Chain A
Amino acid sequence: MSKSNFTRRGVLKTSALGAGALALPQYLRADGHAGFTNAPGDSEVVLGFNVPQTGPYADEGADELRAYELAVEHLNGGGDGGMLNTFSSKVLDGTGILGREVKYVTGDTQTKSDAARASARSMIEKDGAIMITGGSSSGVAVAVQALCQEAGVIFMAGLTHSNDTTGKDRKANGFRHFFNSYMTGAALAPVLAANYGTDRKAYHLTADYNWGYTTEEAIRASTEAVGWETVNTVKTPLTQTDFSSYIAPVLNSGADVLVLNHYGGNMVNSLTNAVQFGLKEAQANGQNFEIVVPLYSRLMARGAGENVKGIFGSTNWHWSLQDEGSQAFVRSFGTKYGFPPSQAAHTTYVQTLLYADAVTRAGSFAPCAVAEALEDYEFDGLGNGKTLYRGDDHQCFKDVLVVKGKENPTSEFDLLEVVEVTPVDQVMYSPDHPQMGGADASLGECNNGA
């Protein structure tokens, strides 16, 4: 008679324990011994690109994804190297990151905070992504940044312009290369004063969400500082498509400037409606009526067509810049895809290189080591001149571009012209600036995760 050590109860217990272990999120088990979430193996490292692949910003998302693929190609030694050749740091040598081949997974933010968090969580827990990057909305950036902080991975923000991302909602694990509303105001106001004078009365139409509020606040503060008066501020629903009810009262409001704190489809439609109502040709207070669009995107400008001509705004980067880094990136991207990159593509490409560079300089993938390498790091050659990743709030400080809709474009991409490169000193602010959350704003503690 044989006697087995296996009992029914024992098998059940073992199975239950095994199933439990398998069900654990990967970042709580795999390489937990390394002391940080999703420590990579010896051969490859996985990055998570979380971009809007569906929804209203899907075109920006597609451009971001192209840039990420290009960055991965360059990091792994493919293509012409792009900005690796112009980057002031020379530690990246085309052998991946710390000798590991760079792989990536993608998620769809849908430009919805919940969906973006779910896709980021999936990439961290199921795919083992060690860094999350991307997004084309401040609401999404703030939400995903908070998730990455909890999970103990680095978040390299994509296109997010709200002050809050590195202001009141800043996090120790989150980093932003893109500029913000405050910088737009600081760069734009002097140009507006020089072109339109200081005796102006502004009427703001503002998208009714976080980014709209911080942009309105920044533009108001900076234009009032140069002598402008704010006549009225009106919030418009994010879902609004026909702005006629909001535009019609503007001309008889006593204002002579309309500021459209709108982005994306909102901007295209509100600007189109404003032009249809004749605001561009109108006179008010004895002066030409003017329209201002604080944040421009080339992809959006194309949607607004001829209406953008002559209208001032700001942008993080533009493909027509003549510095070595920008030219290298435009050449790589243009050769691969057949058209010039957008500012969304630029910032995401740069963020990927900066992350890889920081890991290499730190000699570790541990998020806190990477964060330390990024903090107060100064670099050049990535398209915006000398740039500082400030340690106090993890915001990049660099020159800001003031642009204007081009009067005589030569192609469908040639819609904006750079009218001024505002020096970084002019857009600098203290980390406890009231628009940035004041003295209460804090990065908190860096989190290495598991």
Chain B
Amino acid sequence: MDQIIVQILNGLDKGSAYALIALGLTLIFGTLGVVNFAHGALFMMGAFCSVVLSRILSSSYKVVDESQTDFLGNPLQVDVFYVQDWFGDAAGATIMDWAVPLAILFSIPVMIFIGFAMERGLIKHFYKRPHADQILVTFGLAIVLGEVIKYYFGANPIQSPAPEALSGRVDFGQWLGYGPNTIIYPMWRLVYFFFSAAIIAGVFAFLQFTTFGMVVRAGMADRETVGLLGIDIDKRFTFMFGLAAAVAGMAGVMYAPIVSPTYTMGMDWLVLSFVVVVVGGMGSLPGAVLAGFMLGIIESFASMPAVVDLLPGINQIIIYLVAIVILLTRPRGLMGRKGVMED
């Protein structure tokens, strides 16, 4: 039973990332009608926001330490961090330690800007083009963004640790009445789950309870009529692209301590996230979230050694198998709307 609980936790954690990426994809598809294959790259760029901020906060100058030598036998040049110079050793160390959470604040304007630039600079020219063209151009864009990141940061994963205070483990089993050390779970993964839940709730609340959100929802249902009412729906949809980019970026920032950022991580998530969107139902925001968590949990169970022993390779195909079964029984996905992608 304890293993089942751990795999549910793992699934919720993985599902959180799926849900956040799929939510952004669905927002873009629902508003602009664009199939954005560069969305995984936005997740990756979010993760690299944490790397960039970490490097900014760790900016340093060199001081020669005559008592030590470097690998060539020359006096060692020791890094002195500016933040420690400015705020003192302890405060400076704390600021550097909290780089990942601080990167959330950093990533929001950066990712909104990237989203705007992508939409205005490239994607808007493909609104009236077939979905195949949109997929090709956004897929190409994803490759370009990946290569740009590799050029500046290299190909190897870059460690981006969670703050010390959130790096520990939680004895989850004791909360559920098990003995000590039965179900140990990393604290940061729980933080990630609650963070994702808060972002998802925030996006839904924004769309549901604000005038802006109401107009966007109306535009998603009938763009032409909203336009006839004198509302510049294009501007609002562009904002939604920026919002979707920011959601993907924040998902990436918070995921950086779980999987070290590398330029390939966007592609790693992209295909699975599209499966999530299709299973949830094209254009359905609740469907994307539901499918994200569901497929995350199923994938975690399929990766259990006992299951893999029984059905070798099942861990690599389970999501696609589930997608096939769901699409055969519910062709529009779990919560798909009639008329979306059916023309």
Contacts and interface: CB of A to CB of B under 8 A. Distances in A.
A268 B262 CA distance: 11
Contact of B186 (A241, A245, A277): A277
B150 A245 contact: no
Contact of A276 (B76, B189, B299): B189
A245 B300 contact: yes
A410 B69 CA distance: 10
A17 B265 CA distance: 52
Contact of A242 (B68, B259, B316): B259
B14 A242 contact: yes
A58 interface: yes
Contact of B303 (A246, A278, A319, A335): A246
B156 A303 contact: yes
B3 A248 contact: yes
23 contacts: A56-B262, A57-B155, A58-B154, A58-B155, A59-B156, A237-B316, A244-B10, A244-B189, A244-B300, A245-B10, A246-B305, A248-B3, A248-B7, A249-B3, A249-B6, A252-B2, A269-B259, A272-B159, A277-B185, A303-B159, A306-B159, A320-B71, A414-B71
B321 interface: no
Contacts of B186: 276-278
Contacts, number: 121
A302 interface: yes
A60 B35 CA distance: 36
B91 interface: no
Interface in B60-86: 68, 70-72, 76
Interface string B180-216: 0110111011000000000000000000000000000
Given A268-B260, A276-B258, A249 B155 contact: no
A232 interface: yes
B258 to A, nearest CB: 6
A241 B259 contact: yes
Contacts of B315: 237, 245
Contacts of A300: 156
Contacts of B226: none
A339 B299 CA distance: 42
A141 B291 CA distance: 42
A334 B70 CA distance: 10
Contacts of B150: 54, 58
Interface residues of A, number: 51
A66 interface: no
Contact of B184 (A251, A269, A299): A251
B287 interface: no
A302 B156 contact: yes
B71 A413 contact: yes
A174 interface: no
Nearest to A339: B71
A421 interface: no
Contacts of B188: 276
A424 to B, nearest CB: 26
Given A59-B155, A272-B260, A302-B159, 6 more contacts: A55-B155, A56-B264, A59-B156, A269-B260, A282-B184, A303-B260
